[in-house]
Structure 1
Amino acid sequence: MVTDARTGEPVPFASVVLVGSRAGTLTDDNGRFTLTVKVLTDSIAVSSLGYAMLRQFVDKERPTQALDFKLTPAGNALQEVVVRAGENPAFRVLRQLRKNRTVNDRNRLAAYEGDTYTKTSVALSHVSARMSQNPLMKRVKEGMSQADSMFDDEGNRLLPLLLSESVSRYYVRSNPKVRREDIRKTRIRGVAVDDAGLSSQLLGGTNLVSQNFYDNYIPILGKDFASPTGDNWKNWYHFFLADTTQLGDRICYEIQFDPKRPEDLAFIGKVWIDTSTFALCQIEARIGDRANLNYVRKLTIEQELEPVTDSLAGSGQPSGWLPVSLKLTADLTGIGKNSLGMRAELTMRSSHLIINKIRPVSFYEQPVEPVDTVTTPNDAFWASAQRDLAGPDSLGRSDRKAERMIEQLRAIPAVKKAEAVGQIAITGFYKLGGFDLGPYPYMLAANSLEGLRIRLGFRTNDDFSRHVILRGYLAYGTYDNQFKYGAEADYLFSRQRWTLVGVRMSYDLERLGITPELVGGNRMFYALSRFGKYRGAYRTRVQEAFFRTEPVRGILLTATLGSRTFDPTFPFQYRLQPELGDLSPLRSDIIDTYWSVEARLARKEKYIMDGNERITLGTKRAPVLTIRYTHGARSMGGGYSYDRLTLRAQQSLRLGPLGRLSYLLTAGYTPSTIPVPLLFPHIGNPTPLLTTNTFNRMQFYEFVSDRFVAIHMQHRFEGLLFNRIPAIRKLNWRLVANVDALWGSMSKANQAIETSKPLPNGQKPIRFGTLDSSTPYLEVGYGIENIFKILRLQAIHRLTYLDPGPNGLPVNRFAIKAAASLGF
C-alpha cells in the first residue's frame, strides 16, 4: 500500500517499478497495488507527482511479501504558468535522437558478436464454428484430451502446432557489411516439422528479428514499414510526448506515435528515449488494423536495447546500443470470415556481447551454418542455456503444456495425412526415406503433340547421401506414344564453397524459346508452356558435364561441356550454303556441341541449406549479375563453330513511400553465322495468363535476333495512390505498372540462312521475324493487384510492330491478363 506520510491518506495512481526491470504497475483508488513477476531484483521504487521517490528492499528468497510505502510530500509553490502554442515538444527529442544516431546506432560499430536464445511458438487460433465442423478438425477434437486447453490474451482457444528453441552465436561486421550465424543447438516439436537443419536455419537465431529502428524503413513480410525514428518521422506520424519514465537506471522520454494515414505501412506504439544520450532504449510497435497488409490481424514488435562498450579498448565508455531483448507476436488469418487463424510468437535474448572484434572477411562467408550436432539431444546443454541465456524467457508451464499437446496431435492419423499433403503443397515433393518424389506441378500436361503427358520424377536427399545427388524422370505421351527421360548425377564436394561436379542427359520435347536456360528459372511458366497447342516444338537429346564452385562468397562459377540435337516437329529448313541462294542444299535438324563458362555475381546474397539443396533468400538491394560465354565447337562433332555472349541482371529497389521497382535486364550477342534455333528466340506469351519477365503481347518465337538488349521493369505502388481514395482504400487494392522493351536485330548473313522454299511434302516453312535496330519492340501495362487478396488483373498494350508478321499471324494490340499470387 502507498500512503501519504503526513496525513496517512492513500496515494492513488502512484507509479510502482521493480528497479532494474521493465515490470511495473500503478496503485488503485485506495493506494493499493499488486505486482507479479517471474524474476526479482533488489528493490521496488514508488513515485508520484508532489512526493519524493521512495525505494524499499526486496527479499529475493520470499515468494510473497507485502510492502507499504509512506511518501513524503516534496511539492514547491508554483508561480503563474503561461502556455503558448508552439512546436510539438516530441519533435525536439526526435531531432536529438537523429542527431545522436552516429553515436548510438549499432551500424557505427566496426563489429559485434554475441550469443542468442530464440524461442518460437505457432498455434491455430480463431477457429470459427463453421471451420470446427471440418472433418479434420473434428478428428483433432476427438483425439485431444478434454483437459487440454490454451487461450490467448483475447480468450481465443489455441491449438499448438510448433514449439522450438535455438541457441546460436552471431557475428556482424560493418565494413564490408557481412554477417554470420553459427546455430549450435536446436530442438523442435511440431506438426509437419522435422527436427532438422532446415528448420533450425529458418527458426533459429537472428534470421527473423533483426529490425533496426534507426533505419528509415523496417522490412517486414516483404513490405517496407516507415520507422517512427527514421529520417522521415514527421511525414509519416503524429507524436505525443507522454511522460518521463525510469527504465532500470535510466530516465527516458516516453513518446507515443500513430500514423497520419491509417492505411499506410506504418506503426502504432510507444518509444522510450534516454534523456541524457538521446539513444533509443525501448520500443513497442504494432501494425494498425487498417494497414494495407494481407492476412495479418495484429503484429507487434517489442525491442529493448542497452549500451555496450568496446571490448578491446577497455575505456569503459559506451560505444553504441545493441538489442538485448526482442519479441515478435503475430496473429494471422486466411481469406474469408470462416478461415483459420494462426498465432505466432518469437522471443530472442542476447548476451555475452563482444564489441569491435574484427574478424577476416572470409570468416563471414557462410551466413548461416548449423553445426553437425545441432539436433542431437543434450539435456544438460539446454538446462545451462535456459539458466544463463534465456532467463525469464525460457520454457514455462504453458510451453510444457504445448509440448504435450503437439505430441498428442502428431499421433492422430488424420493429422499425419494432412502433414503429407502439406509437405507436397509447399515443396512440390513427397519425401519417402532417402528419395523425394516429384515435382508434382510437372506430373501432368496436355498438348496437341503428346496428348496426355504423364511424368514421374525423383531426387535423392541427404538421408540417401550428403555428397551423391541423383535426379531423374520418365515421361510418356499418349498421342505420340513416345517415352521421354532425364537423368542427372552430381557429387557435392563442399557446402561452404558450394562445389560440385555432375553429368546429365535427357531426351524430351521442348518448345523453341521456352527452354529452362532462356526462361531463367521461371519454373511455373515452363510447366504451363507444355499445355495447349504446341507450336514451335522440337525433339532434343542433351548430354552435359559441368563443374560448379563458389571460390569467393557471392561469385558462383560454372563450366559446362555438352552436346544437343535439334529435330523440329514444325515445318522448318535452313540453307547449308547460303551463298548459293535457292540452289543451296537444305536441312532441318542440327547437331550442336559446345562448351561454356558462366559467372554469377550475387553480392550480399542470403541462402539456407535444405539437405543437399541450396535455397536462395535473395540479395539486399544488390543486383544479381550473370555473364556467360558459349563456344560452339565443330571439332567436337557439331555442325557449327560459333561464339555467344549473354548477360543477365536483376534487382529489386526500395523507393520508400513510392513503392518498389524491380527490373530484369538481358542482353545477348553472337557475331557468328548460324541457323535461327542457335540464335536468341525472344520469349513471347500469347496465353491468357500474365507472366512477368516475358513479352505478354508477343507470339512464341515471333522474333529472333543475333544481338539484342531487353528490359522488363515493374513498379508496385503498394498503397501510395489507392490508400488516398476513400471508395477504394477499404478494398486494399494496389496499383502496379510495367514497361517491357526489346532492341534487337539480325545480320544479313544470318537472314540469308533462312529459306522460303517449300518442304518436300509441299508445306511452306516457318519464317522468323526480325527487329529493326532503330525501332524497339515496346509493351506497357497497368493493373490492379490484391483483388480478393489473391488476384491480379493487368491491361497490356503493344505499341510497336503492329503489322502482321512473316507467317501472316494477326497482331493483337491489347489484352487483359490475369494472374494469381499469395503475398502479404
Structure 2
Amino acid sequence: MKRILSVFFFLSILLVSAQTKIEGVVLDEFGDPISFANIIFKDSSEGTITNDNGRFYFESDNTYKAIIVSFIGYETKEIPLPQKVNYGLEIVLAESAEELKEVVVYTGKQSKKNNPAIDILRKIWAKKRQNGVRMFKQYQYDKYEKIEFDLNTIDSALIKSKLFKGLEFMFEDLDTSRITGKTYLPIFLNETFSKVYGDNVIDKEKEDVLGNKNSGFSGNQAIAAFVEDLYSDYDIYDNYLKFFDKSFTSPLSKTGVDVYNYVLSDSTFIDNKWCYNIIYYPRRKNELTFKGDFWVNDTTFAIKKINMQVTKSANINWVKEIYIEQEFDVVSDSVFLLKRDYMLSDFSFSKKEESRGVYGKRTTVFDNYVFDTNRSQEFYKAVSDPYDPRVFAQDSVFWKNARLENLNSDESGIFKLLDTLKTVPKFRTYYDIVSILGSGYVEIDKWNIDIGDIYSTFGYNDAEGIRLRGGARTYFGQNDTWRLEGYMAYGFDDRKFKHGFSGKFLLDRKNRLILSGGNRRDIEQLGLSLTSTNDVMGRSIASSSLVTVGSNNRLTNINLSTFNVEMEPVKNLRISVGSSFRTLSSALPDAFSLDYVDPTSPNGISSEIKQFDLNTTVVYTPGKRTIGYGVERVNVNDDYSTLVLNYTKGVSGFLESDFDYEKIQFSYRQPWQIGGLGRLTSSVELGKTFGAVPLGLLSVIPGNQTLFSLYNVFPNLDFYEFVTDTYATVHLEHNFNGRLFSRIPFLRKFNLREIVGLRGAWGQLSDENIALSAPTNIPLSAPTDQIYWEYSFGVGNIFKILRIDFNFRGNYLDNPDARPFGITGTFGFNF
C-alpha cells in the first residue's frame, strides 16, 4: 500500500517527434459512434482502432497523405490528410450496399459457431507452441529495454499553479501521445541492455545484464521495485496475462471465445506474407479483458502484429488506460520472432477523460537471434551479478552500440531535466515529503540518520493506555552493508519506558552472510501468530489497537534478546542459526495470568518465565524477486510461495533458563492465480512441542480481537481461546476480483470484488502441560474432538480502498463468550 501510494504521489508532482498525427471520431449516418473501426495510414500496415466512443488518436514517425477507414458492414473510406497534424476529424461511414466476397459479415455479439475468425483462432491454439524460439533446441538474443514515466494531461492551469511555481522550465518541451492524444512530460527513464540465453532441451534460461542506466529517481528502490513488478514479462500466447497482480484473459486464449467477440475483418500481404486481420472486443463489461485486433499468418498461424487495449469498464483501480503492441519479424520464411514490445499504462486517480495522471511506458526491442548453440548446464547456473558496479558505469560508446532503438530528443533530455530539478529547493521539498510517506522515515542527511517509523508514533492498549513511540536508524544509502535501529516508547497509564534496538551486518554479499542481534523490552500481544516472535523491532497490530472486540487484556511483558547468523547459499534459500533469551510475565496480572507450577518457588507458583532457546530456521521462497544488495532488500513481487521449517531447542539452567523442550514447526504459503477466476491464497501450518512447558511457551491458535481483517488468523477466536502443544491449521482465501459481481447488472457499475474464506484448526494439549500451567482466569483447551472452523464472505474495492469481511464461526459455540459472527475490515490501495 505504501509503495503504490508513494509512487502515485511522487510521480504526480513532477518529444517523441512524429511526422503525421491524426485525431477524430468515426460515426455512422445517424451520428452514432462506430466502435472498433479500423484506421490505417494508406499504403502501410500502421494503424489503430476506434475506442468505445468511436474516437481515435494515432501518430507515426513517417509522413502520410491519407488514411483508410473501414468497418464490417460499412463502405471503406479514404480520407486525405492535408497537413502533418490533423485534429478534429469527423468521419461518417455509409452502410455497405454490396456483399463482401469471401468474408462473412458480423455485427454486435458474435456467434461461436460457423465463425471463420474462431476457426483461425483454433489453428493458432494448435500451433502456438511451435512458434518463436520454442522451435529451436537452443537460442540467444540481445534485449534492450527502456522504461519511462511521463506526467500527462498538462495544460496552462497546471503549469501556472502554485504547485509548480518556480518549476515552469520543466514544461518547455511537451509532446502528444500517439495512443491517447494527451500532452506529456518525460520525468523518468531507465535503460537496460542484456543478453538472453536459453535451452529448450533442459528447460533453462538466463539473462546477463550488461548495462543499466537510470535517470530520474533511480535511487528510490521502492519505485524501482514497483516498476520492475509492474512490467514483468508476458507471452501473448498464454491463456492469461498478468498485469497489476491480476489475470487478464488473452485474446489468443483457449477460453477467449467465452469472453470475446471475434470478427474476421480483412486480409492482405504484410512483409510478403499473407495475413488475416481479426478484430476482437469483450462480450461483457467489467471483466479483465482487452479490445483490439491482430494480424496472423495464413500458413504458420503465427502472430505478425497485435495490439491490445484494456477496456475502461475493466475492474481495475488507478489505471485509466493499458495499451500493448507487439511486432514480429519473419525469419527463414516461416519463423516469427518477437521484434518489438510496447506497453503504455495511464495511471490516474480517476478514469475521467480530463483527469491528470502519469504514463508508464515500456519499450523492449529484441535482435541478433542465434540458434542451436549448445552450452553446458554449468553455463546456466553461473548467474551474472546485476548489481556489479560496472553494469551501472557503462560509457556512451557502450550505449550507442547497445541501444537497439535510439532515444528521441525528449528521452535524451530527461537526464538534463532531472539534473536541473535536483538543484531546485522546492522540488527537493516535494521529494522529501514523498520519501517520508513512502518509507515512514524522515531523512537527516547530514547525520546519516532516519527518524521514524512515523506510522508507529501513536498507540493504545489496556495496559499502557495512550502510548508514544519515537525511533531512528542509520541510513547511508539503500544498499548499506550494516544498519543500526532503535526506539523508545512511553505508556501514560503504566508510566513505564520501553525500548528496542537491533543491529544487522552483511559480512559476505555473495552468500548473504548476515549477523544480527538486539534487545527489546516492551508490552506485546502474543497469540497472534503460531511462531514466537524473535523480532526485536516489530510489534503486532493487536498490541496497539484503538478498537477491539471484547476484553483485550491478555497482554505480556516481554524482555527479549537475540543473536542470529543467516546466510543464503542458494538463491531464495535462507538458513539461519541463532539464540534468544526471553523473560515473560503478564502485563495485567489481575486479568490475565501466566503463572505456572514451580516447586522451587517459595509458594510453589512462579509468575515469570525465563527461557533460553537455540533456533534453526530454513526459509525457501522459490520465485521471489528482490532489488538491492545491502543488508536489507526490497521485495519486487508477492506471487511466490514460502516454505518455512523451524526447530527450537529450549535449554534449562543456562542463564537461569526454566525449561528444557523441543519444538518443530512447518508452514507453507502459496498464492495461486486461477486463470480468470481470480487469486487463491492458501497456507498450512504444522507444529509439535516435545516436553512440558507452561502457557507462555505453548502454541496459541491465532485469534483476532481487532476490527482489522488479517490473513492467517481466526477472526472469531479470542486471544488464548485455544492453546496447543500439537497443531495443524489451514487457511484458504479466494479473491474473485469481481468475476461474479460483473455478471450482476445492478452491481456491475460499482466494480466490487468478492472474497471468500475458509479456515480450520486442530490441536492437542497434553494433561502434563495443562497441569503445569496454573492460570486462574483462562481455561486451557484445544480443538481436539473436532476441527475448529470458520468461513467468511467479503466485499472489496468499496470506494476503491475499503474491504469488509463478514466472518462466521462454524462450531465450538458453547465456549464462554464465543463470538458466532463478526465484521472486520481493512483499507488499502490496490489495483
TM above 0.5, one fold? yes
Q: 1:706 aligns with which of 717, 725, 728?
A: 725
Residues 745 and 495 from structure 1, CA distance in 2 versus in 1: closer, same or farther, beyond 3 angstroms? same
Residues 525 and 630 from structure 1, CA distance in 2 versus in 1: closer, same or farther, beyond 3 angstroms? closer
Show CA shifts across 1:83-118 (max 9, x none).
899721122322222212232154565554433222
Inter-partner Cα distance in structure 2 for 1:404 and 1:467: 31
Inter-partner Cα distance in structure 1 for 2:736 and 2:138: 36
Inter-partner Cα distance in structure 2 for 1:270 and 1:263: 20
Inter-partner Cα distance in structure 2 for 1:177 and 1:481: 63
Question: What is the SS of the residue equivalent to 2:540?
Answer: helix
Report if the CA contact (8 A) 2:726-2:765 is conserved.
yes
Which residue in the other structure is 2:24 paired with?
none
Alignment of 1:405-804 (within 5 A): 405-407=417-419, 409-433=421-445, 434-461=448-475, 463=477, 466-514=480-528, 517-518=531-532, 526-527=540-541, 529-532=543-546, 535-571=553-589, 572-576=593-597, 585-609=604-628, 611-618=630-637, 623-637=641-655, 638-755=657-774, 765-804=776-815
Show CA shifts across 1:139-161 (max 9, x none).
36x64367444433455343433
Inter-partner Cα distance in structure 2 for 1:150 and 1:412: 24
Q: 2:289 aligns with which of 266, 288, 291?
A: 266
Inter-partner Cα distance in structure 1 for 2:744 and 2:478: 57
Counterpart amino acid of residue 579 in structure 2 = L
Inter-partner Cα distance in structure 2 for 1:362 and 1:554: 20
Please identify the structure whose Cα radius of gyration is greater: 1
Q: Does 1:327 align with 2:342?
A: yes
Which residue in the other structure is 2:191 paired with?
165
Q: How far has the Cα of 1:696 moved from its partner?
A: 1.0
Inter-partner Cα distance in structure 2 for 1:718 and 1:521: 34
Show CA shifts across 1:424-456 (max 9, x none).
222223444444433322232233333443333
Which residue in the other structure is 1:89 paired with?
116
Inter-partner Cα distance in structure 2 for 1:84 and 1:222: 37
Compare 400-409 and 276-285 and name the one that shifted more.
Answer: 400-409
Q: 1:295 aligns with which of 293, 305, 318?
A: 318
Inter-partner Cα distance in structure 2 for 1:81 and 1:360: 52
Q: How far has the Cα of 1:573 moved from its partner?
A: 4.8
Show CA shifts across 1:728-754 (max 9, x none).
101111111111211112111111112
Q: Does 1:351 align with 2:362?
A: no
Inter-partner Cα distance in structure 2 for 1:791 and 1:213: 33
Which residue in the other structure is 2:212 paired with?
186
Question: What is the SS of the residue equivalent to 1:165?
Answer: strand
TM-score under structure 1 normalisation?
Answer: 0.80
Report if the CA contact (8 A) 1:802-1:813 is conserved.
yes
Residues 778 and 519 from structure 1, CA distance in 2 versus in 1: closer, same or farther, beyond 3 angstroms? farther
Which residue in the other structure is 1:116 paired with?
143
Gaps in structure 2 of 5+ consecutive residues: 1-38, 49-58, 71-98, 107-112
What is the number of residues matched between the two proteins? 734
Residues 779 and 145 from structure 1, CA distance in 2 versus in 1: closer, same or farther, beyond 3 angstroms? closer
Inter-partner Cα distance in structure 2 for 1:176 and 1:288: 39
Inter-partner Cα distance in structure 1 for 2:390 and 2:219: 12
Residues 446 and 723 from structure 1, CA distance in 2 versus in 1: closer, same or farther, beyond 3 angstroms? same
Question: What is the SS of the residue equivalent to 1:373?
Answer: helix
Residues 195 and 793 from structure 1, CA distance in 2 versus in 1: closer, same or farther, beyond 3 angstroms? closer
Q: How far has the Cα of 1:782 moved from its partner?
A: 0.5
Counterpart amino acid of residue 347 in structure 1 = T
Question: What is the SS of the residue equivalent to 1:99?
Answer: helix
Which residue in the other structure is 1:102 paired with?
129
Report if the CA contact (8 A) 2:701-2:761 is conserved.
no
Q: Does 1:144 align with 2:144?
A: no
Q: 1:372 aligns with which of 376, 384, 389?
A: 389
TM-score under structure 2 normalisation?
Answer: 0.79
Inter-partner Cα distance in structure 1 for 2:530 and 2:498: 16
Counterpart amino acid of residue 118 in structure 2 = F
Inter-partner Cα distance in structure 2 for 1:317 and 1:156: 40
Inter-partner Cα distance in structure 2 for 1:521 and 1:227: 43
Identity %: 25
Which residue in the other structure is 2:269 paired with?
246
Residues 475 and 183 from structure 1, CA distance in 2 versus in 1: closer, same or farther, beyond 3 angstroms? farther
Question: What is the SS of the residue equivalent to 2:544?
Answer: coil
Q: How far has the Cα of 1:121 moved from its partner?
A: 2.0
Show CA shifts across 1:120-177 (max 9, x none).
221222469998897424x36x643674444334553434332332323344455776
Question: What is the SS of the residue equivalent to 1:416?
Answer: helix
Inter-partner Cα distance in structure 2 for 1:329 and 1:130: 25
Which residue in the other structure is 2:827 paired with?
820
Counterpart amino acid of residue 164 in structure 1 = N
Show CA shifts across 1:626-670 (max 9, x none).
111111011533211001111111111122232221112112111
Question: What is the SS of the residue equivalent to 1:229?
Answer: coil
Q: How far has the Cα of 1:718 moved from its partner?
A: 1.7
Report if the CA contact (8 A) 1:264-1:291 is conserved.
yes
Residues 643 and 307 from structure 1, CA distance in 2 versus in 1: closer, same or farther, beyond 3 angstroms? farther
Which residue in the other structure is 1:74 paired with?
none
Counterpart amino acid of residue 467 in structure 1 = T
Q: How far has the Cα of 1:465 moved from its partner?
A: 7.5
Question: What is the SS of the residue equivalent to 1:474?
Answer: strand
Residues 527 and 414 from structure 1, CA distance in 2 versus in 1: closer, same or farther, beyond 3 angstroms? farther
Q: 2:243 aligns with which of 204, 220, 224?
A: 220
Question: What is the SS of the residue equivalent to 2:430?
Answer: helix
Q: How far has the Cα of 1:179 moved from its partner?
A: 4.7
Question: What is the SS of the residue equivalent to 1:446?
Answer: strand
Which residue in the other structure is 1:255 paired with?
278
Q: How far has the Cα of 1:508 moved from its partner?
A: 2.1
Compare 422-431 and 280-289 and name the one that shifted more.
Answer: 422-431
